Structure 1
Amino acid sequence: MKSVLLIALIVALGSCQGAEVAEPLAAQDRSFSSVILELVEEFRVVLQNGVPSYGIPVLAPMTAAKRSFEINSGEFSGTFGVEDFVLEGLDQYEVITMNMDVFRSRLTFEFLFRSLNFTTNYEVDMGSGYRIKRNGGAFFALEDLSIRGRISYSLGVLTSNLRVKDVLIYPSVGNVNSQIENLSKYRIFNRKLNEVIEEFVTLTINDNTDFVAKWVSEQATPVCNDLIGDRTLSDIIAIITGGF
């Protein structure tokens, strides 16, 4: 997944400034924003086909045969497992905005995912004073998910090394659709519990955009710079033009 983050960052920032960028991409007569938009569209191919040479698997759809997680939080402890997990929609994004500000060295963008959803079979075995065991099928979707953001960067004067200064992401969601089976053995209660989940996720996303932006910046910025390492802008362009 770290490799995916690097490729995504490269796609977003690779076409930053100057003839050094324009010539390898044969885009001297196009705006920087247009070049980036083209690369973002090409990234759809990465999601659909992967890039084996960089260890990136197919991510659209993203699948997992079986995964199990240990949960230990205060009074709650137990296991949560999924089987036949399929996440769809990562490649079905619309580019609403894509603007490169060369003078301010930053990229602003907005993506819209009409439906980012997963299906799976789940099994939960939790203990919190009494034992809770549940299993069944599940469908969960974030609909009209908007991802707005800004990436600020800098280039070394002599080396052209790329450094990410901050990565700000502001998400919002139009609707949440939760269809998880067997939360309760009573159908009406099961529907109500799914409605509680839908409302909780909607409020968590839409009412905490500033918190998410700060958290993503703190987590993603050092990771991005670590992944970029000592690569120059020419190195990054070579990865873009050769990786696809």
Structure 2
Amino acid sequence: MKSFAILTVCVLFGLALGENQVDSHIEPFMFEDLINKTIEALRPDIPDPLKIANLTIKIPDGIDLLTGAANVSNFELTGLQGFQVPYLNLAVVGMRLNFTFVLPSINLYTDYWGDLTVANLVPFYGSGKANVHILNAEIQGSAQADLSHGISVKNLHIQLYVGSASFDIHGALDNEDFSQILSALLNDLVASFIDNHQKVISDILSPIIEGLINAILSGGNSSTTPTSATTA
């Protein structure tokens, strides 16, 4: 794969420099052209729209804020190919990858079902449609790069931030009036909620995003992911 060859050159060049320099890592200002080519080579493989036929989400054990399970179907996410990478760092020792992705504008459309409890106290259930428009989403992540069989990442951990989000949710508590109130509340509160609950969000989203990244790195360019996946 073209992108793999480029990244391999970056790594080997970094290893050679590492023998003579204390600072043994790759940063954009050092190999800007090579890294930009790698990123641009991958961009056409990003499914846009990203479609998921069915995704079951099980909240990991040990999280007090949120318990239960949820499911999304007919999921469609647009805007992924517009990503920007303001920071990328590959430490040669340990092959530790740190990065920041920015998504200027993304739109999410899905059918959903949920049976959840918030803070071990407040029930949330329902099913319906949800539309979300997010501006200036930023994903800060760290993972270990694995070059043993092509290129992949493992042990991914992310932190998510959003500039603003607009929600249009239907079917919450099986009540349309409540759904409109919830949509308005989320519009005002989601950015601060994400900031204050990074661990919960990381535990839920990291394995999903790791799977999507590895699917793209493996050369898959289908607009539809496998029909089901589960976080645990």
TM-score, normalised by the number of residues in structure 1: 0.52
* 1:171 has 2:163 as partner: no
Whole-angstrom distance in 2 between the partners of 1:125 and 1:89? 29
Of 75, 92, 102 in structure 2, the residue corresponding to residue 112 of structure 1 is: 102
RCO greater where, 1 or 2, for CA within 8 Å and sep 6 or more? Answer: 2
- Structure number with bigger Rg: 1
Amino acid at match of 2:42: F
Whole-angstrom distance in 1 between the partners of 2:158 and 2:39? 17
* Equivalent residues, number: 192
For structure 2, which runs of at least 5 residues remain unmatched after alignment? 17-28, 222-232
Whole-angstrom distance in 1 between the partners of 2:176 and 2:159? 38
Change in 2 beyond 3 A, CA 1:204/1:12: farther
Change in 2 beyond 3 A, CA 1:20/1:88: same
The 5-angstrom pairing of residues 188-227 of structure 1 reads 189-208=178-197, 211=199
Amino acid at match of 2:76: V
Report the CA distance between 1:63 and its aligned residue: 1.5
Cross-structure match for 1:96: 86
Change in 2 beyond 3 A, CA 1:195/1:39: same
The structure carrying a bigger helix percent of its residues is: 1
Report the CA distance between 1:179 and its aligned residue: 0.8
CA RMSD in angstroms, aligned pairs only:
5.5
Cross-structure match for 2:11: 16
Whole-angstrom distance in 2 between the partners of 1:205 and 1:168? 15
For structure 1, which runs of at least 5 residues remain unmatched after alignment? 1-6, 22-29, 49-59, 156-161, 228-238
* 1:46 has 2:45 as partner: yes
Cross-structure match for 2:31: 32
Contact 1:33 1:99 in 2 (8 A): no
Whole-angstrom distance in 1 between the partners of 2:54 and 2:220? 30
Cross-structure match for 2:49: 61
Contact 2:170 2:176 in 1 (8 A): no
* Superimposed CA distance per residue, residues 99-157 of structure 1 (whole angstroms, 9 cap, x where no aligned partner): 667799766543210123321223456799xx9873332102332111234567799xx
Report the CA distance between 1:170 and its aligned residue: 3.8
Whole-angstrom distance in 1 between the partners of 2:98 and 2:113? 41
Contact 1:110 1:148 in 2 (8 A): yes
Report the CA distance between 1:98 and its aligned residue: 3.9
Cross-structure match for 2:129: 137
Change in 2 beyond 3 A, CA 1:86/1:104: closer
Cross-structure match for 1:159: none
* Superimposed CA distance per residue, residues 44-79 of structure 1 (whole angstroms, 9 cap, x where no aligned partner): 12213xxxxxxxxxxx222133456678999x9987
